[in-house]
């Protein structure tokens, strides 16, 4: 079974919305506006590209990332990697032509079937709504969380508010950086 990894820039109060400057959120761009940049704090992003064999995105994140990532040198490895977009409304005509092979999945059940295929880790970037559904379905195996020392208040959260049984996580890696960022890598305990 393939490992499904959710990776996120997250505020201390759990917000993941518009970290890179996406429009429509009052604190848009919070990752670079309020925290000094330290390359070592973002080393996990390069490691994720080295380890992942596929990318899984929700429709909104695909629409945002597909406009910039195909031409960014920092994300060059993702260009050739298979991509999967989970959406009930997205069509083949909505896919960009310059970002490699992309498959549309229509349900969490199709994501579960993808996990059963041969191959290595699948990485989920952004995609708050998709993360809620994947977590609630018990499909996420690992979290890579780069926690920013910010309280943003309102905004999309990484974790759903569904009333469910406790889901235990095991901290398998952590690091604190001089700019206040913390890397926390958790495995989901089954």
Q: What percent of the chain has pLDDT over 70?
A: 100
One DSSP character per residue, 64-123 reads HHTTTGGG-GGGHHHHHS-EEEE-SS--GGGS-SSS--EEEE-SHHHHHHHHTSSSS-EE
73 vs 24: CA distance, rounded Å: 27
Q: Quote the pLDDT of residue 10.
A: 98
Give the pLDDT of residue 57. 98
Residue 136: the pLDDT is: 96
Mean pLDDT score of the chain: 96
- Taking residues 88-106, report their average pLDDT: 95
Which CATH number is associated with domain 4-188?
A: 3.40.430.10
pTM of the model: 0.96
Average pLDDT over residues 53-68: 95
Residue 8: phi, psi to the nearest 5? -150, 145
- Secondary structure (3-state) at 45: helix
Are β-strands 4-11 and 142-148 bridged in parallel, bridged antiparallel, or unpaired?
parallel
Taking the C-alpha atoms of residue 129 and residue 160, their distance in angstroms, rounded to an integer, is: 8
Output the pLDDT for position 16: 97
What's the token pair of residue 148?
């920013």
What is the pLDDT, as a whole number, of residue 21? 87
User: What does the pLDDT read at residue 1?
Assistant: 94
Q: Tell me, what's the pLDDT at 44?
A: 97
Mark 166-175 as b/e (b = at least 16 C-beta within 10 Å): eeeeeeeeee
Separation CA 183–CA 144 (nearest Å): 7
């Amino acid at each position: 079974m393939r490992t499904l990894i959710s990776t996120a820039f997250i505020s201390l109060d759990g917000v993941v919305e518009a970290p890179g400057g996406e429009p429509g959120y009052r604190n848009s761009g919070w990752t670079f506006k309020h925290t000094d940049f330290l390359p070592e704090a973002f080393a996990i992003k390069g490691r994720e590209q080295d380890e992942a064999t596929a990318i899984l995105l929700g429709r909104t994140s695909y629409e945002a990332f597909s406009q910039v990532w195909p031409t960014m040198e920092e994300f060059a490895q993702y260009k050739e990697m298979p991509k999967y977009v989970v959406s009930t409304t997205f069509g083949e005509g909505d896919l960009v032509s310059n970002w490699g092979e992309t498959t549309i999945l229509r349900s969490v059940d199709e994501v579960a079937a993808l996990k059963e295929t041969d191959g290595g880790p699948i990485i989920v970037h952004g995609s708050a709504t998709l993360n809620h559904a994947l977590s609630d379905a018990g499909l996420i195996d690992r979290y890579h969380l780069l926690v920013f020392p910010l309280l943003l208040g309102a905004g999309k959260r990484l974790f759903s508010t569904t009333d469910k049984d406790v889901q235990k996580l095991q901290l398998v890696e952590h690091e604190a950086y001089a700019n206040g960022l913390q890397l926390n890598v958790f495995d989901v305990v089954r």
